[in-house]
Chains A and B, each alone.
Chain A
Amino acid sequence: MSNIHPLDTRKSQSGEIDAILRNLMGIQGVSAAAIVDNDGFVTHIQRDSEINTDAIGASVQVVFGAAARAAQHVGHHATNMVICENAEGFILSTPVEAGFMLALVTQRDALLGRVRFELKETIPVLKKLFSHYLTH
């Protein structure tokens, strides 16, 4: 019985991570929400259309890494969020825990403040979920 309990906990935590991503997908203009690991692989994703998950994962890690190095160069220390403004929308990425990142892809009509607010409020919970998830 004691061996089953942690597996249940892990399953419910993974389910909550998916629920958080689904919640983010409910925001106007958000077309994909993903968790990307340290190597650029997508571990959880919710999306409303076909999207190249490998490309998202790798590019999010590369862009965040470059932005974080730029921030270090100008003495800004830790990078909390990177926002890419593109012709057709935004890509927002935020570090979670142990190299994992939360990435959001939006259309042009997304309200940037709404998406950013939700990301900022979500990250502390995701950090806790991940620290539990990774230690159980």
Chain B
Amino acid sequence: MPWFQAQMAELQRLAEEYALSQQQTASNIVNVSEKMRLKRAEFIDAVQVLVDKIGKIKGISACAAYHDGLILAQSAHSAAIDAFGATLQESARAAQQGAALLGLGELEQIVIVGAKNKVAMLSIGPLMLCISSPKQINLALALNRRPH
């Protein structure tokens, strides 16, 4: 499996494990609480690691993860980080409406291509991963180059 797909699959697995830990009903709330906390940390830490790795790939301008349009993890400080979040929220809302109308199913990816740059937004559990690059970069190829 290509590097990026393998990373995304691993994050989806961690997100699902965390979601499952939230559904547990046990008489010992302390144990359930601790397990959820650990699963959440495992998922979020993995998101941060991936964001850092993607940010180091040649051709990628920035990478960040958002929850409800608010910054959760970022590869490097960027002046447009809040604008990214706002764009993400607006795009996701429009795409979800379109997806519902067309029966596309759960939203997985949105790509916006401008004259100079492009942004890809990918859904991972409750989060959205945003990756930006110059327009001419082939994102699929760039993302499958394992970063050093």
Q: Does A23 contact B (CB under 8 A)?
A: yes
Whether the Cβ atoms of A113 and B66 lie closer than 8 Å is yes
Given contacts A20-B37, A113-B66, contact A132 B29 (CB under 8 A): yes
Whether the Cβ atoms of A112 and B33 lie closer than 8 Å is no
Given contacts A19-B37, A121-B40, A125-B36, contact A113 B71 (CB under 8 A): yes
Q: Does A58 contact B (CB under 8 A)?
A: no
Residue of A nearest to B77 (CB): A109
Instruction: Among B22, B30, B69, B126, find the residue whose CB has the most chain A CB atoms closer than 10 A.
Output: B30
Given contacts A23-B41, A121-B40, contact A111 B71 (CB under 8 A): yes
Binary flags per residue of B52-77, CB closer than 8 Å to A gives 1, else 0: 00000000000001111111111000
Partner of B71, one of A114, A122, A124: A114
Whether the Cβ atoms of A125 and B85 lie closer than 8 Å is no
Instruction: Give chain A nearest CB distance to B66 CB in angstroms.
Output: 6
Given contacts A125-B32, A128-B29, contact A113 B37 (CB under 8 A): no
Task: Give Cα A76–Cα B30 distance, bound, in whole angstroms.
Answer: 33
- What chain A residues lie within 8 Å of B70 (beta carbons)? 111-113, 116-117
Q: Does A13 contact B (CB under 8 A)?
A: yes
Whether the Cβ atoms of A13 and B30 lie closer than 8 Å is yes
Partner of A113, one of B22, B33, B34, B68: B68
- What chain A residues lie within 8 Å of B122 (beta carbons)? none
- What chain B residues lie within 8 Å of A122 (beta carbons)? 37
Task: Give Cα A111–Cα B65 distance, bound, in whole angstroms.
Answer: 10
Task: Give Cα A121–Cα B67 distance, bound, in whole angstroms.
Answer: 12
Q: Does B95 contact A (CB under 8 A)?
A: no
Whether the Cβ atoms of A16 and B30 lie closer than 8 Å is yes
- What chain A residues lie within 8 Å of B69 (beta carbons)? 113
Whether the Cβ atoms of B67 and A117 lie closer than 8 Å is yes
Partner of B30, one of A12, A112, A124: A12
Q: Does B120 contact A (CB under 8 A)?
A: no
Q: Does B142 contact A (CB under 8 A)?
A: no
Binary flags per residue of A106-134, CB closer than 8 Å to B gives 1, else 0: 00000111101110011011001100100
Instruction: Give chain A nearest CB distance to B21 CB in angstroms.
Output: 10
Instruction: Pick 23 A–B contacts, CB within 8 A, sort by A.
Output: A12-B30, A15-B30, A20-B37, A111-B70, A111-B71, A111-B73, A113-B65, A113-B67, A113-B68, A114-B67, A114-B73, A116-B68, A116-B70, A117-B72, A118-B44, A121-B22, A122-B37, A125-B29, A125-B33, A128-B29, A128-B33, A129-B33, A132-B29
Residues of B with Cβ closer than 8 Å to A? 22, 29-30, 32-34, 36-37, 40-41, 44, 65-74, 85, 126-127
Counting from the closest, the 3 A-B pairs by CB-CB distance are A113-B70, A113-B72, A117-B67
